[in-house]
Amino acid sequence: MIITISGLHGTGKSTVGKILSERLGIKYYSTGQAFRDLAQEKHMNIKEFTDYVEAHPEIDIELDNKIINIAHTGDILIDSQLSAYLLKDLADFKILLTCPTEIRISRMSERDDVPLEEKLNETVLRESSELERFKKLYKINLKDPKMHKQLYDLIIDTEKLSINEIVDQILLKIKEKFK
């Protein structure tokens, strides 16, 4: 089974994805973590690395090709903003998590122990960069609600739900789809 979980930063996709993969007994892969690891390898913070990636589109392409190759191994949950778009029919179940910006920023600020204003600036810059890069590279608009309804099997607003409630909703929908 190949499952994708997508959403903007701070929607809960990594936390939910790790729990889901464990509960389903499948592997877990995160492009967000791969992005952070590459930044660290290059001795850059996220802002510096985001600027670097804007000038080096081959990095996005390399990360995205890795998703496709990993998906072909099967039995995996892929946590990535683009995985549903890149994998299309190869994925068995595609999930999108949404959440208002202020809640997402607050979550990430707390998680990373970074001041709210700093996390807001970093996230706005990173997401703006990603939106433009993905439009340019793949002609994908991550904020197109019409496309979301066509592409995803399940869309969940995580604002008022606990992690367990989100995981339970997803497991129920997967069970219904694969009876």
Q: How many CB atoms lie within 10 A of CB 50?
A: 20
- List the structure tokens of 1: 């089974």
pLDDT in tens, the chain (179 residues): 999 999 999 999 999 999 999 999 999 999 888 888 888 988 998 889 888 988 998 888 888 888 899 999 999 999 999 999 999 899 999 999 999 999 999 999 999 999 999 999 989 988 998 899 899 989 999 889 999 999 999 999 999 999 999 999 999 999 999 98
- The answer to whether 96 touches 154, Cβ cutoff 8 Å, is yes
Q: 97-109 in b/e burial notation, b at 16+ Cβ within 10 A?
A: bbbeeebbbbbbb
User: How far lies 17's CA from each of 41, 88, 144, in Å?
Assistant: 24, 18, 23
pTM: 0.88
What pLDDT is recorded for position 63? 86
| H helical segments located in 56-100 | 58-71, 83-87
Residue 133 amino acid letter: R
What pLDDT is recorded for position 46? 81
Do you know the residue count of the chain? 179
What pLDDT is recorded for position 35? 84
- The answer to whether 90 touches 71, Cβ cutoff 8 Å, is yes
- List the structure tokens of 130: 């990603």
